[in-house]
Copies of this chain bind each other. A is one copy, B any other.
């Protein structure tokens, strides 16, 4: 509970986002939205470079579509916003829904778009010549969650959802793995978040998928977070929506599908990985402002002396494509500004006072380590990019260390129960049954986060039942 207060507080103070008056719906403020735009731009490019095209499908899904894939409806029915009327009118001096505008078939706000998209694909696909279809969309979706946490679990969120169709099963498998790797690469290289990749258990996989690949991350508070997923849909949706194609041999087949996505949750993941007691810490490649320049002065006369230097420094940085901002508000003290940009996670702070101007120096402070160095103006071009690069590297190393020191290999259930309370990831043997998984979850609140991909098989005994296990899996409490 305490960590959540800290989390909410930091998001408010850094002006990333805030809760709206509509339950579970957030307002992403300009500072937070700029980070989302950067995330979008990078991922969008990777999606396009791997042969996908963007499109846009309707917000509304007819109620009957949701019901076509049985596991799908079971999962999403619990959290669907339902549109029943299309007009308001004044009734007894109050604005009410117009009873005459009741819809014949109610509409669901998309919680995810498999159903509406496969309904279109049905019309588009006749022959193997129409395949593969490789479409992505950036959209808002709605899942009526009861427990909301800003960015991590919101009723409305923004995401991209890819939906592909293939004539061969093997192609769909490759596709889902390509996307998994794009997400993994993005999280590690750009967001600097260490990842664990694996496969979801039958219990935890996407409703309607044959297999769900997942990227799990470990957050500061010891909980795990599902950061990205890539689903192998098999023929589940092509059968549910009766999508068929004529293959090269002239036979009729159901094609193979995938879907995959990441959401605004990533911003929550960023905060829960890199923050400290003073605020958020942003990886330089995703930071809206990479360098903040703050003048230190007592009066107008002093300010006039350093003003030119501020501009010079900003110009030098602009030339080498570093986004820098001067904060010369006279209404706020330097100390106030220092703490503001610390909260906002600006990677580098440059401060310039009269002393520095005389010596042709600037004072450079790293957000992550608080280290201070003095740099000569003529060395800015060389030194600042190095410091940004170091920050980009060091925050990953720190997060990796945290992750590695919070993974425990455990072979005993009492040990397991004790350790799961402390948070972190536990890697333990499991007999592969749904029953055991559910019992452990009920007793400890820990779920199986994934069956890891990059871990060798190792025969052992299930920590709960003692039955045979061929591989360890990751357990954790999670959002």
Contact = CB atoms under 8 A, between A and B. Distances in A.
A86 B97 contact: no
B82 A85 contact: yes
A132 interface: no
Contacts of A80: 86-88
Number of copies: 2
A83 B86 contact: no
B55 A73 contact: no
Contact of A27 (B37, B57, B64): B57
A314 interface: no
A54 interface: yes
Contacts of A87: 77-80, 82, 144
B22 A58 contact: yes
A28 interface: yes
Given A33-B54, A83-B81, A97 B88 contact: no
A30 B135 contact: yes
A344 to B, nearest CB: 14
Contacts of A109: 59, 83, 109
Given A95-B63, A331-B129, A58 B88 contact: no
Interface in A52-67: 53-64, 66-67
B82 A108 contact: no
A26 interface: yes
B83 A54 contact: no
Contacts of A156: 58-60
A156 B107 CA distance: 13
Contacts of A389: none
B88 A85 contact: no
A158 interface: yes
Nearest to A117: B27
A142 interface: yes
B158 A25 contact: no
Interface in A19-68: 20-22, 25-30, 33-34, 36-37, 53-64, 66-67
A166 B55 CA distance: 37
A57 B20 contact: yes
Nearest to A44: B37
A333 interface: no
Given A81-B83, A87-B79, A88-B63, A54 B34 contact: yes
A82 B86 contact: yes
Contacts of A440: none
A120 interface: yes
A22 B88 contact: no
Given A54-B33, A87-B77, A95 B67 contact: yes
Residue of A77, A83, A89, A108 ringed by the most chain B CB atoms within 10 A: A83
A58 B58 CA distance: 17
A365 interface: no
Given A62-B21, A88-B66, A56 B28 contact: yes
Given A25-B59, A34-B53, A140-B59, A97 B84 contact: yes
Q: Which 8 A-B pairs have the closest CB atoms?
A: A30-B53, A25-B58, A77-B88, A86-B144, A28-B56, A82-B85, A84-B84, A22-B60
Given A20-B57, A78-B88, 18 more contacts: A20-B120, A22-B60, A27-B57, A27-B58, A28-B56, A29-B55, A30-B53, A33-B56, A37-B54, A56-B158, A58-B156, A66-B88, A77-B90, A78-B87, A83-B109, A84-B97, A101-B144, A140-B140
19 contacts: A22-B60, A22-B61, A22-B107, A27-B58, A30-B53, A30-B54, A33-B56, A63-B88, A77-B90, A80-B86, A80-B88, A81-B107, A82-B83, A82-B97, A82-B101, A83-B83, A83-B109, A84-B85, A109-B109
